[in-house]
Chain A
Amino acid sequence: MSRSTISPTTHQLKNHTSVTQTIRHSLTMAYRGLLKIRRTPEQLFDVTLQPIIFTLMFTYIFGGAISGNVHNYLPVIIPGILVQTVITTSIVTGVQLREDMDKGVFDRFKSLPIARISPLAGALLADTIRYTIATVLTFTMGYLMGYRPDGGIGYVAIAGLLVILCSWAISWIFAFFGVIARTASSVQGISMLVLFPLTFLSNAYVPVKTMPDWLQWFVNINPISHLVTAVRELANSGVIGWDLMISLIGSAVIVLIFAPLTVRAYMRRT
Chain B
Amino acid sequence: MKTDDKWAVEAHGLVKTFGENRAVNGVDLTVPAGSIYGVLGPNGAGKTTTIRMLATLLQPDAGSARIFGHDVVKEPQIVRQLIGVTGQYASVDESLSATENLIIFSRLLGLGRAEAKQKAKDLLEEFGLTEAARRPLKHFSGGMRRRLDLAASLIAQPPLIFLDEPTTGLDPRTRNQMWETIRRLVDQGSTVLLTTQYLQEADELADRIAVIDKGQVVAEGTADELKASIGNSTLHLQIKNPEDTAVARQRIEQVLQVQTKMSSLDGKITAPMTDADRVTDLLISLREANIHLAELSVQKPTLDEVFLTITGEDQSKESSKKTKNVEEVSA
Contacts and interface: CB of A to CB of B under 8 A. Distances in A.
Interface stretch (B80-88, B218-226, B235-243, B252-260): B80-88
A6 B158 CA distance: 8
Contacts of B246: none
Nearest to A25: B108
A199 to B, nearest CB: 31
B96 A108 contact: no
Interface residues of B, number: 52
B125 interface: no
Task: Name B's interface SS.
Answer: loop
Interface stretch (B53-61, B265-273, B307-315): B53-61
Contacts, number: 114
Given A3-B189, A8-B68, A107 B87 contact: yes
A111 B83 contact: yes
B94 A3 contact: no
Contacts of A6: 157-159, 188-190
Contacts of A107: 57, 85, 87, 91
Nearest to B88: A104
Interface stretch (A13-21, A84-92, A146-154, A238-246): A13-21
A54 interface: no
Given A6-B188, A112-B80, A40 B95 contact: yes
B81 to A, nearest CB: 4
Given A7-B5, A11-B81, A112 B109 contact: yes
Contact of B100 (A4, A35, A108, A118): A35
A8 B152 CA distance: 19
Contacts of A110: 56-57
B17 interface: no
B80 A36 contact: no
Contacts of B95: 36, 39-40
A5 B93 contact: no
13 contacts: A5-B159, A6-B159, A6-B190, A8-B68, A13-B1, A14-B77, A14-B78, A15-B77, A21-B110, A39-B96, A111-B84, A112-B105, A113-B109
